């Protein structure tokens, strides 16, 4: 039997936005995959420390974190791609000049000098994530894999024009991920697939956000949650039910990976 692997986004895919819990049906379905010898991997924009409890709960030791910038297989770092210090300094300077908050993500934590900024309070508060630490030199003293820029959509064009070396991916109406150009979860997945010698056509991925577009486009079977953004549904091979309606379990069953069901012909993506 060919090796298979399934990648799962966290927020809005595994973790419900309303109660911040993993649905029991999703936990049971993932356990069934593991019992069958199918590899299960988390693929998220979060730093490792911000989803350690989820890894423990699901018994998953391999992950693509920080949007593909930091990849771990069974507890071992197999890829990391820190951002050049001079690029971080330029970004910080531009943000400061415009009174926009910026935070910096290492593999261990997130640091910012702008902790009280309302955009940080709003975006982190809605995700119920731990707030960054106050540290004005954080990006100078740690390897940084991603920045978080806090501004509205009508303000972001300045940064896109000023910094062609970065990709900007919005995850909140007042917040964006800032990554090296061309980097995404898909890059981390390519590293993982190469490590395990699994072809992309035998890989599956579940997601709901804009930062999942490259991931679902890369794998052989891209599944968008019913609560996914329209842009992701357009590139998905299959659209499952929303997270709160057993979307993970139903999507895995539709793919023929659980419940001993035969693989169904995917419904057209919306």
User: What are the Cα distances from residue 209, in Å, to 15, 31, 79, 153?
Assistant: 13, 24, 23, 16
Q: What is the pLDDT of residue 264?
A: 46
**Distance in angstroms (rounded) separating the CA atoms of residues 136 and 120:** 15
Q: What are the φ/ψ torsions at residue 254 (nearest 5 degrees)? A: -60, -30
* pLDDT tens-digit map of 72-97: 999 999 999 999 999 999 999 999 99
User: What are the Cα distances from residue 204, in Å, to 100, 146, 254?
Assistant: 37, 25, 12
Q: What is the pLDDT of residue 89?
A: 96
- pLDDT over threshold 60, residue 5: yes
Stretch 135-157: mean pLDDT = 94
Stretch 215-239: mean pLDDT = 98
Instruction: Dump the DSSP string for the chain.
Output: ----EEEE-SBTTTB-TTT----HHHHHHHHHHHHTT-EEEEE-SS-GGGSHHHHHHHT---EEEGGGTEEEETTEEEEE-PPPHHHHHHHHHHHHHTT-EEEEE-SS-EEES-TT-HHHHHHHHHHTPPPPEE-TTHHHHS---EEEEE--GGGTHHHHHH-TTEEEEEEETTEEEEEETT-SHHHHHHHHHHHHT--GGGEEEEE-SGGGHHHHHHSSEEEE-TTS-HHHHHH-SEE---GGGTHHHHHHHHTTSSTTPPPPPPPPP-
- pLDDT over threshold 70, residue 268: no
**Which range, of 68-77, 169-178, 233-242, 244-253, averages the lowest pLDDT?**
169-178
- pLDDT over threshold 80, residue 263: no
Spell out the CATH class of 5-80+183-254.
Answer: alpha beta
Domain coordinates of the chain in residue numbers?
5-80+183-254, 85-180
Q: What is the pLDDT of residue 243?
A: 97
Count CB-CB contacts under 10 A for residue 121. 15
Q: What is the pLDDT of residue 176?
A: 94
Stretch 16-40: mean pLDDT = 94
Residue, of 24 and 116, whose pLDDT is higher: 24
What CATH number should be reported for the domain whose range is 85-180?
3.30.1240.10
Q: Would you call 259 a catalytic residue per the annotation?
A: no
Q: What is the pLDDT of residue 84?
A: 96
- pLDDT over threshold 60, residue 152: yes
This model's pTM is above 0.95:
no
* 40 token code pair: 């299960």
Residue, of 13 and 263, whose pLDDT is higher: 13
Stretch 94-117: mean pLDDT = 93
- pLDDT over threshold 60, residue 173: yes
- Per the residue annotation, which of 9, 114, 167, 208 is the catalytic one? 9
Q: What is the pLDDT of residue 133?
A: 80
pLDDT band at 262 (very low <50, low <70, confident <90, very high): very low
**Which range, of 135-139, 162-166, 177-181, averages the lowest pLDDT?**
135-139
- pLDDT over threshold 50, residue 197: yes
Averaged confidence pLDDT in the chain:
92
Are the folds of 5-80+183-254 and 85-180 the same?
no
Count CB-CB contacts under 10 A for residue 53. 9
* 203 token code pair: 């890989």
Stretch 119-143: mean pLDDT = 84
Stretch 210-227: mean pLDDT = 97
């Amino acid at each position: 039997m060919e090796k298979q692997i399934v990648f799962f986004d966290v927020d809005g895919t595994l973790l419900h936005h309303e109660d911040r819990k993993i649905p029991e049906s999703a936990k049971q379905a993932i356990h069934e995959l593991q019992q069958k010898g199918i590899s299960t991997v988390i693929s998220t924009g979060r730093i490792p420390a911000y989803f350690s409890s989820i890894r423990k709960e699901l018994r998953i030791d391999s992950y693509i974190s920080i949007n593909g910038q930091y990849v771990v297989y069974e507890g071992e770092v197999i890829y990391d791609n820190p951002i050049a210090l001079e690029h971080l300094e330029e970004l910080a300077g531009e943000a400061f000049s415009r009174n926009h908050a910026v935070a910096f993500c290492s593999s261990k934590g997130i640091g910012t000098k702008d902790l009280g900024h309302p955009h940080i309070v709003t975006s982190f508060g809605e995700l119920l994530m731990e707030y960054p630490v106050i540290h004005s030199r954080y990006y100078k003293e740690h390897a940084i894999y991603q920045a978080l820029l806090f501004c509205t959509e009508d303000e972001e064009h300045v940064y896109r024009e000023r910094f062609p070396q970065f990709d900007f991916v919005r995850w909140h109406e007042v917040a964006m991920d800032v990554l090296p150009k061309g980097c995404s979860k898909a890059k981390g997945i390519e590293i993982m697939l190469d490590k395990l010698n699994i072809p992309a056509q035998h890989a599956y991925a579940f997601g709901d956000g804009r930062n999942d577009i490259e991931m679902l486009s890369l794998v052989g079977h891209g599944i968008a949650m019913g609560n996914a953004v329209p842009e992701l549904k357009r590139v998905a091979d299959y659209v499952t039910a929303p997270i709160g309606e057993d979307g993970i379990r139903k999507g895995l069953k539709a793919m023929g990976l659980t419940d001993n069901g035969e693989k169904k012909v995917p419904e057209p993506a919306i």
